[in-house]
Structure 1
Amino acid sequence: MTARRQTPSASVAHRTAVAVAVGATLVALAAPVTAAPPDGAGTDRSGNPRTSKTATLLYFHDAHEIGPVLTGGQDRGGVARLATAIETVRDENPATSVVFGGDLAGGSLFGGLYKGFPMVEAFNEIGVDLANFGQHDFDFGVDNARELVGASEFPWITSNLLDAAGRPFVDDGTWTVQRVGQVRIGFIGLTDAIETTSAGDQLVEEDAVDSARAAIEDMTSHGRVDVVVAVTQHPMDVNRELVRAVPAIDAVFGEEMAEYSSVIEYEGDVPLMASEGNLGSLVRLDISKERGDYVVAPPSVVEVDHTVTPDPELLELEEHYAAEMAENLSEVLASVATPLLNPDHASRGRETALGNFVADAFRAHHGADVGWANGGGLRAEAPGPDFTVRDAYAIAPFDNKVMHVEVTGADLAQALEDGVAQVADLGGGFPQVSGMSYAYSPTASAGSRVSDVRVGGRPLDPAATYTVAVPNYVVDGGDGITGFSDADALVPASEAPSDAETIAAHARQLGVIDVVLEGRITVLP
């Protein structure tokens, strides 16, 4: 049966951010729903009543930090507040299912250190009911992602990710149906940008539209589904295309569009919803059974900010990890004479002191001809006056391995061309270098942007071989870098140190970090 959607006012496209004051303390932690009980059952083990004619979905996404985030003049997020906000809605309507959209590993210092497991621990306590994968959940490889799934007391789904053998990444997990109240809700999960993770060569990312159609067809062939919800890692424009191509979809939970605000829009009468980044909000969607129809109400937003009273048990978990991080990361490694900054993501388009420092660290560790750091992998600044272990891991939170490889000059030139190809879009593959210099023109035609390449002060010889200290992410083709595909590994990833470890060791050896711009990268008209 096709769901009927209510749209607010006469507007087709709608953007809203409705703050809901929540302050009640969590009184009971519910176990996640993993399967719908028989039609005759009264309630399931989470207290979800089968007689309720209204089902509530609570959606959130982007869980890189376990505690509150203090940025942009705002105090938001934290799993303790999230728990209270969810339980407040559950108190109002026990027929509530909590959906996580993905990204609980990588992307931050906390994520880099703990690789997502504390977030799974918290979500188990809160009672998350379903999770989709974000690309950052694969930042530490497929084995780590599988361990996250194994540690979860809630199911994960993906409709378009296959393993290297061509099998669904989650067994029997290309879709799922949950009965929430009297509503049978079918979920599909879609993920993109897998090529930007270290698992890019270990997964197959299938076409989203084809995968959505196949999953829905398979799901509906197995039984009744009242409403179909797509949980995606896509931005709004891609979700619009998805809904136009797959009209069976009744609602879409998508990737965050803004760090500090939730976004709700419409494609026709299908709501497209995105919560704030870093647990800053929940999107609430109510679906009611009315005279045989299933009505999707206009969504609303539940803020998860300083107005929410933290759950005491989850607050203890936050404080435990905060104390552990403070103890382990506070060691001072060096003083900072010249701040290592990255204003407006400058390391994705020009030479920066931060980029020089990191590329120098990689090159020094292996004694290579060239040090290479991808600008998109530099995730934090180090303004000083002290440089600590925390700074090293904040700058490089993805746990990439600094390999030592040998390539021809021609391949090195190709890698540079690949690296500057996406500069107009602030592509993450932009090369920050050490022991080498180059010029490029962002307006030149693709494949002809790089010029005046020098290694050790001498012009690059296409026929010569050079050694390069470079993250395995780049060697494996991350951000579209192809020039290292034929590289000989002198120190493979399995034997190489992490990027953060290399940076920390270099800082300790320097004692004083005084890095200046040297003209390593020249930007031409």
Structure 2
Amino acid sequence: MSNDRRSTGTVDERRRRLLAGAAGGLTVGALGLGGTGSAAAADEDTLTIIHDTHFHGRFEDADVETLDIARYQTLVDELRAEYPNAIYLGNGDDLAPSVLGLEFEGEHMIEALNETDIDAIGAGNHEFDFGVEVAEERFEESTFPWVIANLLTPDGDPVPGAERWTTVETADHTVDVFGMGTSGFHDITDYPDDWQVLGYEEAAEDAVEALEAETDFIVCASHAPSGAHSTIASVDGVDAVVGSHSGIVFDEPDESGNGVIAEFGDEFDHIGRLTFEVDDAALTDWERLDLYDSAALDEEAYPEETDHHTPVDVQDVGRTEELAEIADGYLDELEERLGEPVVESEVELDATFANYENETAWGNLMTDIMRSVDRIVDVDREIEVAVQNAGGIRSNATYGPGDITGSDVMDILPFPNEIEVWEVEGATIRNYLEWATRAMPDDFGAQPAIQVSGLSYEWNGHDDDWEQGDDGFPDGGVYEIFVGGEPLDEDETYLLATNDFEAGRSPIAEEGELVVESGQFQGPFTMDYLEAETETVSPAVGHRIVRVDEDVGDAALAADNSVTATFPVPEGAEVVVDDGFRAVSRTQEVAEATAVEVDGDEVVVTFDADDLLGLAAVDDPRVRVYGHFDPDDAYYGYEDGDGYVDLPVNPSYEFHKLKASVSDSDLEAVAGALEDDEDTADDDGEEAAADDDEEEGVEDDVPGFGPAAGAAGIAGGAYLYSKYGANGDEASTDD
């Protein structure tokens, strides 16, 4: 069995790989939507579970608007009509997050979901984005039950308006459904601190004890993380677990434990169908519908058809009339409010779940804007730092190059999260970065899990002491932290902008002091800023957040006409990859390598001398060489079933990353050696010298010295001064 147990970013990569091969153009009737299940369809002893919603408060996919709730429902209705004893279950996160969710606080989704005749939904964390009182109102407005077994009030009661479990009657069977949410409720949404969170096994055992005497089949409509499902399914009496918090797409159901586990993604890309023999809860047939729009894809990118994967071209799927009317009404209203462009982007802005995994252009843009919140609030000095939780960047789509609308911005930042300014010590910034970092062997892979402005730092993606089942996420280390290009002073205080959700769950609120509440939600503030302050944006990805899997120590420098840095091959490297090597200073200036060679146990990286020494234009440049290597999976030893996890896990990284440090003294020595060589060459007449710098200037092609290297304080500084002047600017030849 091949299950995809990786991040939601990996899910998207898997989807792109899946979109290959099969010709489209079939009608729904021609597809049959029955896969291999015609025999099962005629058997009244079977039960069929249709599952997966996770609509996130949207009526249509963020990238492809024809993948919408009205077509999705048409397919669900056809499956329900084809299979006897069919039930339809949702897996939560249906009310938010999205711009529609923010504008209407989930009312729009309840109106739509009440038309779907869904049997039950396992409540997710985003049902509570607007507080428990709003969640209770939405649950009570629903004509179907919301279920969640592991979240209780302080008195031990079910979530108000919801149930821990419910019973669904089919023509021939009694089916009981319990819900399960992530155990990290308090960290990721607006739950009261004193609400109880039961462990997954305890909550599942409660459900079975309450239900098994009067039921034919017990299923968990899960919004728990993928890694928790083996625990839930192992409880005797649980026949199936469907859905998840993780948004993962399985290639096939997991039948390795007591209960069957099926995770088929979220939103509008897939619908899962499982058919069981009720007597022994055996899975007799299953199908995953893979929705796509042939008008939006080249033919070679259509999903592949297999025995159990059924591609469905939504161009051939009609819209359920009632749902179409509801969705179009809300979308038209939203378009009137937010449909106009607010800015033009010259580059692609990535608002996908890659924001968990690495620095992005969108993350840099929005956090830079957050630092400008002082335009509407009074603070006594510059806001030096901004941090943003990756989970607050939610559209999972890319935008541009081109116009960016208000709806785009609000879809990216859909939460009612208020921008706040905090005064924090440098030690708190370090604690926060360590707290935010998620290392291997977590299910999602290694992630910094934030975006930043005014900061740069390294993070390590491994925690050798963490094991599955431990609380929280594995902890990665953070190193080489700079604020505004200067080393972090742990005793100094800084002003930091973030959102109230992120502050309240992190060391920021625990250790810092709130300076000002802006009164501005992130989405509207960002939209207004872009519209008022700029016509075009072109944010670049630099080295604010640098992953380091292996620190190989100091590099030895040597100089000739170029400069080489030599350091050990990482112990965990299967192959050193000879591209992507560069040197970076504390001010994020970059020198790209011109060559990379492996000589036995050493890596030799060559740089243009001007480029490398140009990084020494500031005192204490703190230069580091970064590069790529293909990791040895067995060396790291992260197990997945019978084998090792295929590293580096996340699609944002093709390779692991190494770091070698370059000492300031070595840079000085190399600069001095190159200057001595230059002087010798001049004495021998091998190279023209400038006898009078002020009158004649100095040629630009002198080896070893580039324009950025014109600061005093390194060996050869006087020579650079004569060539480029005191500020490092090239001297005029017109004097």
TM-score, length-normalised on structure 1?
0.77
Q: 1:416 aligns with which of 430, 433, 437?
A: 433
Instruction: Give, as a single letter, the amino acid of the residue that structure 1 aligns with 2:402.
Output: P
Map of 1:348 onto structure 2 = 356
Other structure's SS at 1:104 match: coil
Whole-angstrom CA distance in 2 between matches of 1:67 and 1:373: 26
Check 1:84–1:382 CA distance in 2 against 1; reply closer, same or farther (3 A cut). Answer: closer
Structure 2 CA distance for aligned equivalents of residues 138 and 179 of structure 1: 29
| Pair 1:60 & 2:36 matched | no
- 1:144 equivalent in structure 2: 134
Match for residue 81 of structure 1?
Answer: 71
Contact 2:239–2:281 (CA<8 Å) still a contact in 1?
Answer: no
Secondary structure at 2:540's aligned position in 1?
A: coil
Separation (CA, whole Å) in 2 of partners of 1:79 and 1:489: 42
> Residues 350 and 274 from structure 1, CA distance in 2 versus in 1: closer, same or farther, beyond 3 angstroms?
closer
8 Å Cα contact 1:400/1:499 also seen in 2: yes
2:321 corresponds to 1:312: yes
Amino acid at match of 2:536: V
8 A Cα contact 1:76 1:279, kept in partner: no
Equivalent residue of 2:219, what SS? strand
- The 5 Å alignment of 1:285-434 reads 285-286=274-275, 293=279, 298-301=284-287, 303=289, 305=312, 306=314, 307-341=316-350, 345=354, 347-366=355-374, 368-379=383-394, 380-422=397-439, 425=444, 430-434=449-453
Distance 1:113-1:164 versus aligned 2 partners, 3 A rule: farther
Describe the shift of the 1:266–1:55 C-alpha distance in structure 2 as closer, same or farther (beyond 3 A): closer
Whether the 8 Å contact between 2:440 and 2:463 is mirrored in structure 1 is: no
2:514 — aligned with what? 489
Structure 2 distance, partners of 1:160, 1:318, is: 32
Give the corresponding residue for 1:41: none
**Which amino acid is 1:173 matched to?**
E
Q: Distance in 1 between matches of 2:458 and 2:365?
A: 19
Alignment-derived partner of residue 266 in structure 1: 255
Q: 2:188 aligns with which of 197, 209, 215?
A: 197
Question: 3-state SS of the aligned residue for 1:230?
Answer: strand
2:2/2:252 contact within 8 Å kept: no
* Distance change in 2, residues 1:395/1:517 (3 Å): same
Q: Which runs of 5+ in 2 are unaligned?
A: 4-17, 19-23, 31-43, 292-311, 375-381, 465-473, 549-658, 660-735
Identity %: 24
Structure 2 CA distance for aligned equivalents of residues 442 and 55 of structure 1: 44
2:274 is the alignment partner of 1:255: no
**How far apart are the structure 2 equivalents of 1:436 and 1:240?**
39
| Distance of 1:70 and 1:461 partners within structure 2 | 42
- The structure-2 alpha-carbon separation of the partners of 1:144 and 1:263, relative to structure 1 and needing over 3 Å to count, comes to farther
SS at 2:221's partner residue? Answer: strand
Q: Cα gap change, 1:353/1:281 in structure 2, threshold over 3 Å: closer, same or farther?
A: closer
Matched, 1:224 2:214: yes
Distance 2:254 2:61 in 1: 26
Whether contact under 8 Å (1:12, 1:268) holds in the other structure is no
Larger deviation: 424-433 or 307-316?
Answer: 424-433
Q: Quick check: 1:331–1:388 contact (8 Å CA) kept in 2?
A: yes
User: Higher mean Cα deviation, 414-423 or 404-413?
Assistant: 414-423
Q: Could you tell which deviates more after superposition, 91-100 or 401-410?
A: 91-100
Determine if contact 1:23/1:84 at 8 Å carries over to the other structure: no
Provide the C-alpha distance between the structure 2 equivalents of 1:171 and 1:341, rounded to a whole number of angstroms.
37
Q: Secondary structure at the match of 1:232?
A: strand
Q: Distance in 1 between matches of 2:475 and 2:73?
A: 51
| Displacement of 1:269 | 6.5
Instruction: Indicate how the Cα distance of structure 1 residues 185 and 502 shifts in structure 2: closer, same or farther if over 3 A, else same.
Output: same
1:283 equivalent in alignment to 2:272? yes
Structure 2 CA distance for partners of 1:277 and 1:510, relative to 1, 3 Å: same
Q: How many angstroms does 1:94 deviate by?
A: 7.0
Structure 2 distance, partners of 1:332, 1:401, is 23
Deviation at 1:258, TM superposition (A): 6.7
Give me the whole-angstrom Cα distance separating, in 2, the residues matched to 1:375 and 1:265. Answer: 29
Separation in 2, partners of 1:350, 1:270: 36
* Offset, 1:501: 1.5
Distance 1:156 1:356, change over 3 A: same
Question: Following the alignment from structure 1 to structure 2, what is the Cα–Cα distance between the partners of residues 12 and 453?
Answer: 40
SS for the counterpart of 1:404 is strand
Describe the SS at the equivalent of 1:69: coil
Deviations along 1:461-498, one digit per CA (max 9) or x if unpaired, are 32333221101221122xxx434323222234xx6311
Q: What one-letter code is carried by the residue in structure 2 that aligns with 1:382?
A: Y
Q: CA deviation at 1:459?
A: 3.5
- Closer, same or farther: CA 302–123 of 1 in aligned 2, 3 Å: farther
Q: Distance in 1 between matches of 2:449 and 2:199?
A: 27
Shift of 1:149: 0.6
- Verify: 1:454 aligned to 2:478, yes or no: no
The C-alpha deviation readout for 1:233-271, integer Å capped at 9, x for no partner, is 246553233222x11112222328777777423135643
The answer to whether the 8 A contact 1:381-1:395 is kept is: no
Contact 1:56 1:284 in 2 (8 A): yes
Going from structure 1 to structure 2, the CA distance change for 1:519 and 1:182 (only over 3 Å counts) comes to closer
Match of 2:524 among 481, 485, 501: 501
Is residue 169 of structure 2 the alignment partner of residue 183 of structure 1? no
Report if aligned partners of 1:348, 1:427 keep a CA contact under 8 Å in 2: no
3-state SS of paired residue (2:510):
coil
Classify 1:338/1:206 alpha carbon distance in 2 versus 1 (closer, same or farther; 3 Å).
Answer: same
Q: 1:255 to 1:436 in 2, by over 3 A?
A: closer
Change (3 A) 1:91 1:426: closer
Instruction: Report the structure number with the largest CA radius of gyration.
Output: 2
Moved more, 335-344 or 412-421: 335-344
Q: What's the offset of the Cα at 1:364?
A: 0.5
Deviations 1:407-446 (A, max 9, x none): 2222122112222343884566634222333344446989
1:261–1:413 Cα change, 3 Å:
closer
Deviations 1:37-62 (A, max 9, x none): xxxxxxxxxxxxxxx76654432332
- In the aligned structure 1, how far is the partner of 2:246 from the partner of 2:463? 31
What one-letter code is carried by the residue in structure 2 that aligns with 1:332?
P
Taking a change above 3 Å as real, the CA distance of residues 518 and 165 of structure 1, as seen in their structure-2 partners, is farther
Counterpart of 1:501 in structure 2: which amino acid? P
CA RMSD of aligned residues (A): 3.7
Which digits, 9 at most, give the CA deviation of each residue in 1:16-51, with x for residues without a partner? x9x997459xxxxxxxxxxxxxxxxxxxxxxxxxxx
CA contact (8 A) 1:336 1:513 kept: yes
Would you say how many aligned residue pairs link Structure 1 and Structure 2? Answer: 470
SS at match of 2:255: strand
Structure 1 CA distance, aligned partners of 2:190 and 2:225?
22
Q: Does the CA contact (< 8 Å) of 1:411 and 1:484 recur in 2? A: no
Instruction: Tell me what 2:662 maps to.
Output: none
Q: Deviations over 1:443-465 (max 9, x none)?
A: 69897833343334544332333
Kept after mapping to 2: 8 A contact 1:439/1:521? yes
Asked whether the 8 Å contact 1:423–1:430 carries over to 2, the reply is no
> Which secondary structure does the structure 2 equivalent of 1:516 belong to?
coil
The alignment partner of 1:413 has SS state of: helix
State the alpha-carbon separation in 1 of the partners of residues 216 and 390 from structure 2: 46
Judged with a 3 Å threshold, the aligned counterparts in structure 2 of structure 1 residues 241 and 421 are, in CA distance, closer, same or farther, namely: closer
